[in-house]
Amino acid sequence: MLLTSAPVASADQVRDAQWPLTVYDAEKVWRTSEGAGVTVAVIDSGVDASHPDLAGQVLPGKDFTGEGSPHQDNDGHGTGMASLIAGHGHGANDSSGVMGLAPKAKVLPVRIWSTKDTLKPGNWAEGVRYAVEQGASVINLSLNDSAAYPGSKVAKAIEYAQANDVVVVAGTGNDAGTVNYPAALPGVVAVSAVDRGLNFWSKSNTGNVTVAAPGVETPQADPTSRSGYVVADGTSGSTAYISAIVALLRSKYPDLSAGQIINRLIKSAAFVNNEGKKAPDKQLGYGIARPGTALTMDIPAGPKEGPLAQSSPSTSTNSGAASEDSDSTGQTKEENSSPSGSIFLIAGIAAVVIIIAVLFVVIRSRRNGRNGGGPGPGGGIPPQGTGYPPQPPTGHQAYPNSAPNQGYPAAPGQSPQPPNPYAQQPPHQG
């Protein structure tokens, strides 16, 4: 699950090494929101509720492995993600250990694997549904699973979560390929990683990226380490930081829909220290997320659906397709209903006229053919066998296999390059 990890000697060193808190000016952020009243589901290897940095933050949760308790974490990954989201440190004035970016949020542990080799592809859909039923408004998926392709059980579970106003956040992957599932599913916030210089981490997967966040050399809790902490690289950590930012926003703006929260996240992101990039960028998406700006910037709420594509019968096989209610238009479907009716009426009349004209030309052509005329230069139907051969459909293979993902519990899937989520264009087939 973690590409690299190294133990940290002491909790004081951990706090000193938490550079994301410095970059985000966390102390100032917490004056506006600490994530109170928000539940973040961490669907992972379990969360050690007894870790000193998480005591009191972890809800009962549920174990879907049949091997133990949701508070049992044999790998340490789930506890690490929970600490980056809602850790509160410990010791005098909580000055030691990991401080999460949303320290007042609650963590719902949903245990779906015990070690990286025990995650059964596509077998954690019920965990997602359980998180929704338990009131989680944010779901953190620091994992890849090629079986979470559009139309799969997992994809339908994520659609269920989105239909119930839940923000789903997932890591793009750590093998420098294209964005993996479930991050590549419509409406999911796909997160890549940056280092302490805010430079793109080269092992992050690219393509349909939504935003980026710190994911390199991030200290996090780990009950399997002798010190209780590790420093790790990977989009797992950057995903956790985005889930924390979403928790801050959901606490500050409880009346906004999941899509409107994502809109705030995207509109407030920026290409800090990355001049020359244009959104959407295949590495950083709409930029590096900025929690302070997201919380305080004057951003119109926009449509409830938000700027990311939503799953539907017509788009369920497309990753990152533009939403019909793109925020860039500033209009809702209701506002466009009257003009659309006129357009359809005009289009229908025009179609009838064209059909009549075509029939007239065809009939006349056939009559000419019976009189000995043939297709002249530049027109008519070419003789059989002289036309171009049928071409196979172009595009990406639906779900190709790829090299084993060193940073995730299962082999990643692949997804096609997306169109601009703010562009008004039909979705591409992939």
Q: What residues are labeled active site?
A: 44, 77, 236
Q: Which CATH class is domain 4-296?
A: alpha beta
Q: What is the pLDDT of residue 8?
A: 60
Residues contacting 422, CB < 8 A, separation 6+: 307, 322, 326, 327, 328
| Beta strands at 189-194 and 211-214: parallel, antiparallel or unpaired | parallel
Q: Cα 331 to chain center, whole Å?
A: 25
Model pLDDT for residues 68-97, shown as the tens digit of each residue: 899 999 999 999 999 999 999 998 888 899
- Write out the two tokens for 115: 């070690």
Angle at 415 between CA 411 and CA 421, to 5 degrees: 140
- Write out the two tokens for 123: 């077998």
Residues contacting 391, CB < 8 A, separation 6+: none
- Sequential DSSP letters for 177-216: SBPPTTTTSTT-EEEEEE-TT-PBPTTS-BSS--EEEE-S
Q: Is 388 exposed, middle or buried (0-12, 13-18, 19+ CB in 10 A)?
A: exposed
Q: Are 118 and 50 spatial neighbours (Cβ–Cβ below 8 Å)?
A: no
Model pLDDT for residues 249-258, shown as the tens digit of each residue: 999 999 999 9
Q: Are 354 and 348 spatial neighbours (Cβ–Cβ below 8 Å)?
A: no
Name the residue with tokens 């952020």.
Answer: 29
Q: Which amino acid is at 110?
A: V
Residue 338, Cβ neighbours under 10 Å: how many?
A: 9
Q: Which residues of 303-328 are buried (b: 16+ CB within 10 A; e: fewer)?
A: bebbbbbbbeeebbbbbbbbbbbbbe
Residues contacting 249, CB < 8 A, separation 6+: 33, 256, 261, 264, 265, 294, 295
Delimit the domains of the chain by residue range: 4-296
Q: What is the pLDDT of residue 412?
A: 39
Determine the Cα–Cα distance for residues 174 and 121; give it in Å rounded to an integer. 18
pTM greater than 0.85:
no
Q: What is the pLDDT of residue 168?
A: 98
Residues in the chain where the model's pLDDT stays below 50: 1-3, 313-430
Q: What is the pLDDT of residue 165?
A: 98
Q: What is the pLDDT of residue 6?
A: 60
